[in-house]
Chain A
């Protein structure tokens, strides 16, 4: 008993176990746990039945058509192996799509109803409260996942799969699920309404990126499969399960793809990279959420946290290209432009989440204080410059193994990259104005759509320049006129927003000056 108490005391130093236990008990109650475990067992039974039926049909099909193909192996269609695949897919959907959405919805609901505020007056520390919300609140969903998880473990061990290969997908799903759950909680904390749209959006983004990462795991871009936990799980299963390869890639493609050692290495590395990426991201997001729980008036992310998350994302996007570095100037510059455009939405979201709202900005302004560049009250300009700096530093190694001279292809890519950088540098102007000027949801949404349209025009211009669509065209050509219009807007829109920001500043200061 004393040892048990001592262990519990060590575990509960920060009150996390207590919080999780309280939230689990709140969600489940005593009666529901057994019921949910029964549902979970029912799901396992259904998976086994479905797998058995499909495997039987496939084997019968192979016997009927022996000319099916020299690469087909009907003996791979085993019930347990197929049920294992189904179980992992179900776990992926549950932990990476449904649970984060449920957490976002639950946190937004608590925030809206005011119960979160009451929890903040309890002695629970922010980390305990956060883990209670992330691990305890969706306890029903976790319980339903128990059956498929056991099925995966049993199927893996009975099928002779090495233990590390059985455990790795579970580990990746656990860490990825935690990271996505924390993102759900962080998103929920920023919501003032019901958060239904955000919840659905989060689920949709997670599902779409999961499919995208799974798709690129089949291709020559397999090095980037770890950008989503499902991509990493997919890569792991491709490496280990021949049945999975046969189902997802087709036996013929799989045979040839797996003769490429780079492809095999990329797949083997994906789960480890995903663990590192999502583990690190979880720590930063958890700290940001704790900060927000402790002080709801500050932006969700501190400037440093935003920079760390951006650097992580930029490293994850840029560094895999070093495994096969570009040899020519134009391909290196093209790679830089592609990565820049890929990171642009991420940078926008992070900078927006680190930007002070109207009240915080106005209080600081009216007190005539000059905030530190990375303080919560500061506008995001220096943060965005630091992000651009991090991106440039990470991109430099891409050009290390480039040889030869810069040809015309290279020039247009560099021009596109330069325009991309200018576009990126103007982001903080729009973000700061949007955060400090528009208080109501409607006007802010309208402004955001306007700016997204403007950025869309700029991105299209960058792509046109990069693709060489304006090379050698006369001034009257549509593409040339479009690029000219985009360049004009690239100067005019930030100037207009800056002018409006100045007017807002004067208006905010006017009552103080009158006093």
Chain B
């Protein structure tokens, strides 16, 4: 059993529809699990159930073997939860806030100071350490929220849209932090709308739509659609066009979106692209870049959402 284990979890708010329906997944220690889905899919409800804030209507959720409802205290010792829109005590300074939450989490006084200093360094809060929280920017507050979540050294991190308020630099730093935490053995569960960023770090994905799981599993094992869109850049476009025109039927279509920049819809994935690039090189088109237009996670997401919606839409 993994660090987080959800087994057929269902949640209903009004007894009519299920906010989450029969959701099952496992998050292993030292891995990142991305929970993605459109608005209202049930991501936040799932995370709140994991954080002991909502009781599941049915099913079982365990964290490190402890049931989230029966062993709430043990679960809370192991998790760090950062909600989407979280509040902080505005009149405190970051150091006071971290000290308060460390105290609530029973962090021994002997290590508290050292740990707070380390988090302030790691999350780039040095300049804000003595300012009142009400004076901090949104990005700094988000980093402070992250520090608060980590102050008791949890074994499980549950993050709801952690990068929503961060600038590009801060997002990269957050990614690095998460990868570092993953290497330390933490099980991390992230819900986010920013799929390309998750794609770089996620080991497994849970795609949910209208409360129902559409795909749950490792990204590598996800079944990709046969057709894919690639971006191709060449230095000599006039030499590339005849090659593209003459290529076999695995190249379904191509569109020149800029000078020397093509969007190719191909069947057969990387193998087809390899053959095509070989021919372009032989004809002297000088290929400067070729890459899939969407990340693997995006492709899996779009494919899963398409598959997940079709039968229900057809039925309706």
Contact = CB atoms under 8 A, between A and B. Distances in A.
A26 B73 contact: no
B104 A22 contact: yes
Interface of A: 15, 18-19, 21-22, 25-26, 29, 113-115, 117-125, 294-295, 297, 359, 362-367, 511-512
Nearest to B57: A363
A33 to B, nearest CB: 14
B141 to A, nearest CB: 13
Nearest to B17: A511
Contacts of B101: 122
B124 to A, nearest CB: 22
Interface stretch (B86-94, B249-257, B287-295): B86-94
Contact of A123 (B53, B87, B100, B106): B106
A122 B105 contact: yes
Contacts of B148: 118
Interface in B41-80: 51-53, 55, 72-74, 76-77, 79
Contacts of A362: 14-15
A295 B52 CA distance: 10
Given A26-B92, A114-B85, A511 B16 contact: yes
B15 A363 contact: yes
B53 A21 contact: no
Interface of A is mostly: helix
B161 interface: no
B15 to A, nearest CB: 3
Contact of A29 (B86, B96, B105): B96
Given A115-B87, A365-B15, A121 B106 contact: no
Contact of A122 (B14, B74, B76, B89): B76
B53 A121 contact: yes
A208 to B, nearest CB: 32
B135 interface: no
A123 B152 CA distance: 11
The 8 closest A-B pairs by CB, nearest first: A366-B15, A363-B15, A22-B103, A113-B87, A114-B87, A122-B104, A123-B76, A26-B100
A19 B12 CA distance: 33
A512 B106 contact: no
B37 interface: no
B105 A123 contact: yes
Given A122-B101, A125-B73, A26 B16 contact: no
Nearest to A114: B87
Contact of A25 (B12, B13, B51, B100): B100
B159 to A, nearest CB: 13
A19 B104 contact: yes
A418 B41 CA distance: 55
Nearest to B104: A122
Nearest to B74: A123
Contacts of B96: 26, 29
11 contacts: A15-B106, A21-B103, A26-B92, A26-B96, A118-B83, A123-B104, A124-B104, A125-B73, A294-B72, A363-B14, A366-B15
Contacts of A367: 15
B99 interface: yes
Contacts of A21: 103
Nearest to A22: B103
A362 B17 CA distance: 12
B81 interface: yes
Contacts of B89: 26, 115
A115 B145 CA distance: 12
B80 to A, nearest CB: 8
Contacts of B14: 359, 362-363, 366
Nearest to A19: B104
Nearest to A15: B106
Contacts of B51: 121
Contact of B52 (A15, A19, A120, A365): A120
Contacts of B73: 123, 125
A121 B145 CA distance: 14
A44 to B, nearest CB: 28
A295 B81 CA distance: 18
Given A15-B106, A123-B76, 13 more contacts: A21-B103, A22-B100, A22-B104, A113-B87, A117-B83, A118-B83, A118-B87, A120-B53, A122-B101, A123-B77, A123-B106, A365-B15, A512-B16
Nearest to A511: B16
A121 B52 contact: yes
Interface in B1-54: 12-16, 51-53
B81 A121 contact: yes
Contacts of A114: 83, 85-87
Interface in B151-197: none
B76 A118 contact: no
B102 to A, nearest CB: 9
Contacts of A120: 52-53
A117 to B, nearest CB: 6
Contacts of A122: 76, 101, 104-105
Given A19-B104, A26-B89, A26-B100, A359 B13 contact: yes
A114 to B, nearest CB: 4
A124 B52 CA distance: 13
Nearest to A361: B15
B87 A119 contact: no
Nearest to B16: A511
A195 to B, nearest CB: 16
A18 B108 CA distance: 11
Contacts of B85: 114
A295 B55 contact: yes
Give the interface centre of A25, A29, A122 by most chain B CB atoms within 10 Å: A122
A286 to B, nearest CB: 18
Contacts of A22: 100, 103-104
A120 B68 CA distance: 13
A444 to B, nearest CB: 18
B16 A366 contact: yes
Nearest to B88: A115
A120 to B, nearest CB: 6
Give the interface centre of A25, A121, A295 by most chain B CB atoms within 10 Å: A121
Contacts of B79: 121
